[in-house]
Amino acid sequence: MVSRLRHLGLAPDSDEPRMSYMIRGERYTAELGPGGDDDVQLIHHDRNAPMNEAGPSQARPSSPAAAAPPELGHLIDQNGRRVFDTWVFIPQTASGAQINMLRNAGCLPTEGSPTMFSIYGVPHRAEWRDVNHIHIQPELASSSWPGYTSEGPPAE
């Protein structure tokens, strides 16, 4: 799993030594150990346990539901293009390539367990409808974007 996080550019590093994730509906924290960038500890959290966000990453949302979904726009599709170069921001049934992208990123939903991801910072919800039928819905309402408050859009 740590190698997959590194491949996706989501592993902790010296700039951000602690990161939190939702992977297939489960909560995880990755922490950089004393051995540097090659020493990453992946910690699985019990579903009912609160997530401890103290430390260098305390500015991140403390609730897993409010945490920013993983950004997938930088991934390379099976045709060698970046996902964000060809992404269409409309509700859609996922293509085989999009299903593979979600699977490889650990964001493939299962029955009753939708997942969230983002493209260009826009959150998307992926829902399982049937075998090989995944519905993708962009969350275009700004209230669902990370950092949104009732006072307005996220601060720059």
Tens of pLDDT, residues 38-78: 888 878 876 554 444 443 333 333 344 456 788 888 888 77
Domain positions in the chain are 2-66, 68-156
Find where tokens 């990755």 sit.
30
Instruction: State the pLDDT at residue 58.
Output: 34
Which amino acid is located at 137 in the chain?
A: Q
DSSP SS3 for 61: coil
Q: Please state, in angstroms and rounded to a whole number, the distance separating the CA atoms of residues 8 and 79.
A: 17
Entry pTM: 0.50
